[in-house]
Amino acid sequence: MLGRMQTSALLVNDILDHANIYHSDVEIVSRLVGGKIHRETYSEAHLRARKMSQALQSLGLDKGDVVATLAWNNHRHFESWYAITGIGGVYHTLNPRLFADQLIYIINHAEDKYIFVDLTFVPILEGLQDKLNTVKGFIIYCDEDEMPQTTFDNVHCYETLINAHDGDFSWVQLDENDACGICYTSGTTGNPKGVIYSHRSNVLHSLVAVSQDVMGLSSKSVVMPVVPMFHANAWGLVFTCPMVGAAMVNPGPQMDGASIFELLDAEQVSFTAAVPTVWLMLLQHLEEQNLKLPYLDTVVIGGSAAPRMMIEKFEKDYEVDVNHAWGMTELSPLGTMGVLKGKMHDLSFDERVDIKVKQGRPPYLVQMKITDDDGNELPRDGKTFGNLKVKGPFIIETYMKDDGGEILDAEGYFDTGDVATLDADGFMQITDRSKDVVKSGGEWISSIELENIAVGHPDIVEAAVIGVAHPKWDERPILIVIKKEDADLSREDVLGFMEGKIAKWWMPDDVVFVEEIPHTATGKIQKLALREQFKDYVLPTANDA
Ligand code: ADP
């Protein structure tokens, strides 16, 4: 017997239709390039998205066409995603921090037909224009009187296109498995690889993301996605906010501590999300200016490990609940969220932080296991670490154009490339990227754990740990440190600070002070570049063999 219920397709444009009817007056607030604050409602965004869909069709774009965006978080970027998917097209987010060669590669690889671009990034694309094989034209996010002098061959002003249409448009009907969006992995080794989300995977991800034990969003929330739309779908917030009628506050290009604080305060933001570097800048600003965060309830920290000190400061000094999240572009991106379980609320502050430094637990629809290198499942005891594998309907099956070939194991699990522990409550803790663990005498040392302890030192701004070749132990860890400008900090001070906090054999063999640590386009420490930089480094312990 078959069920007799309706089987309507799960399509992202229905989310905006819902917001238009049931949350019509809820605002999207955006800081634009140039600093101006723009406000519009979901209803206005809905109308403008449909006008832009008409404009895209009038430019000759059709179902299945890939249209890229190179932009900050703002209302036009929001509208463009829905306008593109509304004609059956596929949005492709470009990360402006990629190297020129990588941008050229992914634009050509995804066969982008048009590119929406913020004023800030016009010069980047002008420089690449001749090498973009499939791009027919550009649409600049600006008013008519802001149109810059440009060398683009075929260029349009976003607001002029909007003004030329009436919005009398019905979204093109699609299959829920049709492509919806594309985001490339950052390609720390080899070329970037494309992850193609479907309408169905984006809707399912959103339903999971809004739930209480994940992001817990509702019509009462005022959400500031500091995480860029070009970084793994802004962690789904472009879909989840209109889905529940949460207001959105988009920070645009200004992500320094003062600008973020200004919007958090003025717009009474209750929920925000970003990578740890953003929160470091905010906390520094709050301390310097002696400010508080009276409206903020929840901050999500993900993309890199949230240091213990950061969690403690938010919770103790500012009474903001920290949810530590882990995810990947390949997961749409949320994989785990560190919301405490009911039974954990009576624990002491320190015990709760012990749990919050872990990356959290998977929601329903994310299956998770750890295995050894032969694929045997390892115990969920919070101690044993292994290769972290995941499975579920918003997790990748294959990369675009089958790059990388078969990527799932026999049971359909995707190997994340992370090494982690799982405990009996389901909380996962990342030990390292599998490429980054330091392999000393056949045992593994977590570079992330050493870095987190080091950044707990008040004179250390940033820290990175890599393995360096050692004649006896294979590899030993060195700690690379940026210290505060005027700090008088020695190797011995740093090692003394770490003593007693880790097993003796985890102690770095050396501390190196540097001015700069290289970062990837998504703000992570570029271990590959550091390993290259320090490949001939001779450890002070090299002769102890
Ligand atoms: P990239 O394109 O830089 O790989 P992703 O956002 O897809 O961007 O990166 C995913 C990786 O980031 C994960 O596999 C993991 O190594 C790391 N990561 C994400 N969140 C966390 C976290 N909370 N703690 C530690 N590492 C994290």
pLDDT mean over 344-361: 97
**Domain range holding 448?**
438-544
Q: Is the CB of 192 under 6 A from ligand 1?
A: no
The CATH number that applies at residue 517 is 3.30.300.30
407 in the same domain as 470? no
pLDDT interval class at 541 (50, 70, 90): confident
484 φ, ψ (degrees, to nearest 5):
-60, 150
Look at residue 99 in the predicted model and tell me its pLDDT: 84
Token duo for residue 265: 């305060």
pLDDT interval class at 187 (50, 70, 90): low
Q: Is 367 exposed, middle or buried (0-12, 13-18, 19+ CB in 10 A)?
A: middle
Look at residue 524 in the predicted model and tell me its pLDDT: 85
Residues 460, 263: Cα–Cα separation, whole Å = 28
CA of residue 213 to ligand 1 center, whole Å: 20
From the CA of 326, give the closest atom in ligand 1.
20
Report pTM. Answer: 0.92
* Alpha carbon separation from 325 to 174, 215, 347, 526 (Å, rounded): 32, 10, 21, 20
CA of residue 447 to ligand 1 center, whole Å: 14
| Percent of the chain at pLDDT exceeding 70 | 99
Q: Is the CB of 433 under 6 A from ligand 1?
A: yes
69 pLDDT higher than 80: yes
CA of residue 304 to ligand 1 center, whole Å: 6
pLDDT mean over 387-399: 97
CA of residue 268 to ligand 1 center, whole Å: 29
pLDDT mean over 19-48: 97
286 in the same domain as 157? no
Residue 224 in domain: no
CA of residue 303 to ligand 1 center, whole Å: 4
Residue 240 in domain: no
pLDDT mean over 289-316: 96
Q: Is the CB of 447 under 6 A from ligand 1?
A: no
The CATH number that applies at residue 168 is 3.40.50.12780
189 pLDDT higher than 80: no
How many domains, in total, are found in the chain?
3
446 in the same domain as 417? no
The predicted-structure confidence for 505-534, as pLDDT tens digits, reads as follows 999 999 999 999 998 877 788 998 999 999
The residues assigned a catalytic role are 185, 330, 439, 444
Residue 246 in domain: no
456 in the same domain as 406? no
Q: Please choose from 94, 193, 421, 430 the residue to mutate so as to test ligand 1's pocket, defined by most ligand atoms within 8 A of CB.
A: 430
Closest C-alpha residue for ligand 1 atom 6: 328
Q: Is the CB of 304 under 6 A from ligand 1?
A: yes
Residues 150, 137: Cα–Cα separation, whole Å = 12
Closest C-alpha residue for ligand 1 atom 26: 304
Look at residue 475 in the predicted model and tell me its pLDDT: 92
> Is residue 243 within 8 Å of 216, Cβ to Cβ?
no
H or E stretch at 31: strand 27-31
387 in the same domain as 261? yes
188 pLDDT higher than 70: no
Q: Which residues contact 237 (CB under 8 A, 6 or more apart)?
A: 223, 225, 227, 248, 273
Look at residue 545 in the predicted model and tell me its pLDDT: 56
Residue 222 in domain: no
